Amino acid sequence: MNVSSLVAFSVLRLQLSISTLHCLFASIFSKVCNWTIRAYRGTPSPVSPQKLDQKRIQNAMTPTSVNYHFTRQCNYKCGFCFHTAKTSFVLPLEEAKRGLKLLKDSGMEKINFSGGEPFLHDKGEFLGKLVQYCKQDLQLPSVSIVSNGSMIKEKWFKKYGDYLDILAISCDSFDDATNQLIGRTQGKKSHVDNLNKICNWCQQYRVAFKINSVINTFNVDEDMVEHIVTLNPVRWKVFQCLLIDGENAGEEALREAERFIISDKQFQEFLDRHSSVPCLVPESNEKMRNSYLILDEFMRFLDCRDGRKDPSKSILDVGVKEAISFSGFDET
């Protein structure tokens, strides 16, 4: 091989080596870029603590679900009641509707009407008109009621049943004698018989049926499994008896609920014995104090964090945002 051929061959080899290295580096560079892009897309940008706090505050200020106790009057005398008849005030219908519209405009999606006994005022007509307004005019996804069931008539279902999503009936015992001891009764009427009747109406008028039970010293040892399974509610909420200063405990209280109180251990034992019931949802005292957004008869939010009910200003006077900031509500 002459000198010129050797030089040409060497140049060719060098060009091939450079080309190979170029392709290799190009491939590596391309993969690194793809990895970087995927990592960038898959990993959210860091959020500052300030922005996280702002988002948390904004979520806390949104009244997604509200319990409106529009009346304190009741026809039962449950010994542990924590929203007692300290006033007989009920807002005029149009003012109540105005407040509900303010709540809807602030993000409310679920409204639950309670008392007192909500069917007591105006024989359920006031309640029915509010239920209809919330479903038909405000178009809320969920409209519900909590009642002792004693005042409910089938004609109410015929008139307002289409606007109601859920009806929860309070039942602490399936023994009439125990209900008498608790005060969950009126005269000689059987609370349990009435419960079965309302359950059938809910099925007939396509309203979801729930049961709420407050566990206390008089029913903590009762076996309710068979009765709950037979009634088959969509949800069975089981509450631990709760003391609220000024309501069922303390000098200004209308009830003395200390004799109804059970320990956390007793409450857990009751839950354990009923764990086979699939619809059971437990509510401890801690959850009761912090996780319910309560609006009273004046449309004031109630702060229950310190074991009593401290009212905010009315949303009708200061708006929802200012009133809710006082409530102590914790959705987490």
The pLDDT tens digits of the residues spanning 175-233 come to 999 999 999 888 788 999 999 999 999 999 999 999 999 999 999 999 999 999 999 99
pLDDT at residue 92 greater than cutoff 90 = yes
Domain count, the chain: 1
Q: Where residue 242 falls among pLDDT bands split at 50, 70, 90?
A: confident
Residues annotated catalytic, as ranges: 74, 78, 81
- Do the bridges between strand 300-303 and strand 310-314 make them parallel or antiparallel, or are there none, so unpaired? antiparallel
Answer whether residue 20 is part of any domain.
Answer: no
Answer whether residue 172 is part of any domain.
Answer: yes
Range of the domain at 254: 64-324
Answer whether residue 110 is part of any domain.
Answer: yes
Residue 74 to residues 181, 254, 274, Cα–Cα distance (Å): 17, 13, 30
Answer whether residue 9 is part of any domain.
Answer: no
Answer whether residue 6 is part of any domain.
Answer: no
Answer whether residue 227 is part of any domain.
Answer: yes
Tell me what pLDDT residue 86 has: 73
Kindly give, in sequence order, each residue whose CB lies less than 8 Å from that of residue 120, ignoring residues fewer than 6 positions away. 71, 73, 74, 75, 151
Residue 127, token pair as written in the block: 């309640």
Residue 16 to residues 1, 13, 79, Cα–Cα distance (Å): 20, 5, 95
Answer whether residue 332 is part of any domain.
Answer: no
Mean pLDDT on 305-317: 81
Q: What is the CA radius of gyration of the chain?
A: 31
**Within 10 Å of residue 31's Cβ, how many Cβ atoms?**
10
pLDDT at residue 137 greater than cutoff 90 = yes
Answer whether residue 8 is part of any domain.
Answer: no
CA 69/CA 96 separation, integer angstroms: 11
CA 102/CA 175 separation, integer angstroms: 43
Report the length, in residues, of the chain.
332
Mean pLDDT on 124-130: 99
pTM comes to 0.79
CATH number at 191 reads 3.20.20.70
